[in-house]
Structure 1
Amino acid sequence: MQRCLSIIGLLATVLLTACSTTPELPSQPYLKSERSHLYALQQWSLEGRLALSAKQDSWSANMAWQHQVDNEQIKLSGPLGQGAVLIRLSKDQVVIDRGGKNVQTSAEPEQFIEQQLGMAVPIHSLRYWVVGLPEPGMAFFETAEGFKQGQWLIAYKEMQSVGKQIMPRKMTVMNGQLRLKVMVDEWSLNDIKAN
């Protein structure tokens, strides 16, 4: 009887261990030297979540981001799509559409986003950072997990395979005032899809 209970206990332990969750793909390291070819990427999209926190405020949202050359479309929404906001960004113009007739436009995207959020978010740089690249034409310094550009530290906490590419899965962008966390659930690179 004692031996039977020991065997049942051992089997239960093995089964519980087998059921524990493991990531689908092992986390890949961030390597800037292997990313330069991504500057040529003309079109991509991602779906995921973001969390923004500053000393005075914090919030989180679901995010769907579509990128084409000189054209960004970022949809932010709460649970079940509530409170959706669509941000369209072209060369030097931003349009924020909160639905209905609540549409605002500005020729100064960075300042306008700061006005709307109450926090300075580097929206132009973010379009590069989210794919794991420094903004071109600006100095940057590599770090163990990413790079520092301007006043911002960009850290890639986890990378994932998307077709033949290695793309960010979890990243943090921060300066002394603000922390932005991005978690990408699904990437689409032209016709390459992965989640």
Structure 2
Amino acid sequence: MFPPRHRFGAALVIALTATLATACASQAPPASQPTESMAGTPTAAPPEATPTPTADAADEDPTCETLIGADVVADFESIGWSSRAEKFYLGELELAHGIQCVWADFEGPAGDHLQLFGWAPIGDEEAAEAQTSMVDQGWIREESSEGVYITEPKETTIAVDEEGYGMTYLFVAGSVKLADTKQGLLLIEWPKS
């Protein structure tokens, strides 16, 4: 059902995140203040640490851990779930700069208990073509103040939200979001503001 999984990218993101967190957490120890017992042996203060430059969140690419809120990630991890990053597809169309994340218990028994989130940048013409293609295949198109929703037909839906919506895409100017239900789209917090 899903395209092949790529673990190397996720491992690289986790390693880079850990490296940045370690670098940002280090601080220079406070300079020693002379006391009566140290007065005869002056010591040099350690050099000031140079702060590590951080990239603006708007310039970063999303990861499975940043695509949704930190509290949602913590909830998933607390029940033993982890994520797998995949390529973002709209039908047959791969959006090269997008990400699709599957959250599940990959160590447990196989099943369909999972959560799916995705985001990708997309041009207006490409978005219109994708919407038309999906509607031609039976997907349902709805316009709203948030953007254009494209939802899978009820006949092929595996799981639905409280309103009866299954897998849904939300097209807004310049990007598209994906979740396994329409309500799941509310958990996506990308792009960061």
TM-score, with length taken from structure 2 = 0.29
Choose 1 or 2 for highest CA Rg. Answer: 2
In terms of fraction of residues, the more strand-rich structure is 1
Q: Which has the higher contact order (CA 8 A, sep 6+)?
A: 1
TM-score, with length taken from structure 1 = 0.29
In terms of fraction of residues, the more helix-rich structure is 2
